[in-house]
Structure 1
Amino acid sequence: MTDPSTPAPPPLPERRAADVAASADAAATTTGAEAGGQAGPTPGIAGVDDTGVRRLTGDIDDIGRGFLAALFDITFTRFITRRLASVFFLVGLIAIGIAFVSAFVGGIIHGIGALGWNPGGGIALILSTVIVVPVLAFFAVVLLRFVIESGVALVAIAENTERTAENTRRGGA
């Protein structure tokens, strides 16, 4: 006897993902040919993987490719900012972390050292280190994130403007 409070397992799909992927590839090829275009996959779609998810090509697919070519592109038609944003953020976080630890430990050590000849100043230095250094580190992380997001947003605006200009030229010609 089954417990009525236990939910039933979800039903299995009617077809395997690989079969769905093969039929989607065939449908994309047929749709392209029927539309008067070339027989082949739909532009911008490289097919469907074995999970049934369509793979994109073009700018999105080139994110991990051609980094050195983009780096040494003297015409600046390809941007590397989006590719390096996470690296810059990680390096910035590490730098902020190192600065935080050194300032925190240094402030505590100097505060303890000052307790012998100036007890009030030593306590004030220890308390200000415990309060001020973490707050400054937090603001540094926020500022770092803001600067990197601003750069990425600026590059995204430039890329979108370039795509809009290309589409306008194609539509007007």
Structure 2
Amino acid sequence: MSDSNPTPPPLPEQPADEAAARRSAPAGSPATARAYDPAADPDDTGVPRAVGDASDIGRGFLSALFDISFRTFITRRLASAFYVVGLIAIGIGFLVWFVRGIWVGIDLISFNPGAGVSLLVATLILVPIATFLAIVILRFIIEAVVALIAIAENTQQTADNTER
């Protein structure tokens, strides 16, 4: 605090653009300092690999489905299928409500023009908004369930690796 002229931090060995060029140079060029080795990467965050955990190897879907102790979760495996089925159901609902709203609105114009136009405008505005919200809610629910399953799996791994 008493020093009014602090020393500046040291400059890097090379400018950032040279380091980036050296990093993205082809493998055979002399500019490459070293190739990336995932085994030497110290940032192992503990995120499960795409191949699955060691306990999942050799376990089929049907054996996990009939696991009455619920030690194996199938929700993460089926999340994308649930999402696709939900999107299809929401899409069918959108088509039904949209076509029905337009159809009834056009029919209603001959009896009550104000109500028919109001129904057409409401259908054109509210049905797409409700469909969008349904998709968002579906995604939130599936992500929440998958996150809970991931927490349960990680907690079980922590418990298995903790010495008593």
Give the equivalent residue in structure 1 for 2:26: 11
**Alignment partners' CA distance in 2, 1:161 and 1:81:** 17
How far off is 1:58 after superposition? 5.5
How far off is 1:11 after superposition? 3.3
- Residue 117 of structure 2, aligned match among 116, 120, 123: 123
Give the equivalent residue in structure 1 for 2:65: 71
Give the equivalent residue in structure 1 for 2:107: 113
**Alignment partners' CA distance in 2, 1:158 and 1:113:** 54
**Alignment partners' CA distance in 2, 1:120 and 1:132:** 17
Give the equivalent residue in structure 1 for 2:140: 146
How far off is 1:60 after superposition? 6.7
More strand per residue: 1
TM-score where L is the length of structure 2: 0.68
Give the equivalent residue in structure 1 for 2:86: 92
**Alignment partners' CA distance in 2, 1:101 and 1:78:** 38
What's the Cα RMSD here?
3.0
How far off is 1:73 after superposition? 0.4
- Structure 2 portions without partners, runs of 5+: 1-24, 30-36, 38-48
**Alignment partners' CA distance in 2, 1:57 and 1:73:** 21
Q: 1:146 to 1:65 in 2, by over 3 A?
A: same
> What secondary structure sits across from 1:77 in the alignment?
coil
Q: Quick check: 1:63–1:83 contact (8 Å CA) kept in 2?
A: no
Q: 1:121 to 1:85 in 2, by over 3 A?
A: same
> What secondary structure sits across from 1:75 in the alignment?
coil
TM-score where L is the length of structure 1: 0.64
Q: Aligned residue pairs: how many? A: 126
**Alignment partners' CA distance in 2, 1:63 and 1:89:** 25
> What secondary structure sits across from 1:116 in the alignment?
helix
Q: Percent identity between the aligned chains?
A: 58
Give the equivalent residue in structure 2 for 1:30: none
Whose RCO is larger (CA < 8 A, sep 6+)? Answer: 2
> What secondary structure sits across from 2:96 in the alignment?
helix
Give the equivalent residue in structure 1 for 2:77: 83
How far off is 1:59 after superposition? 1.1
Give the equivalent residue in structure 2 for 1:38: none
**Alignment partners' CA distance in 1, 2:50 and 2:105:** 58
Q: 1:13 to 1:79 in 2, by over 3 A?
A: farther
**Alignment partners' CA distance in 1, 2:58 and 2:89:** 26
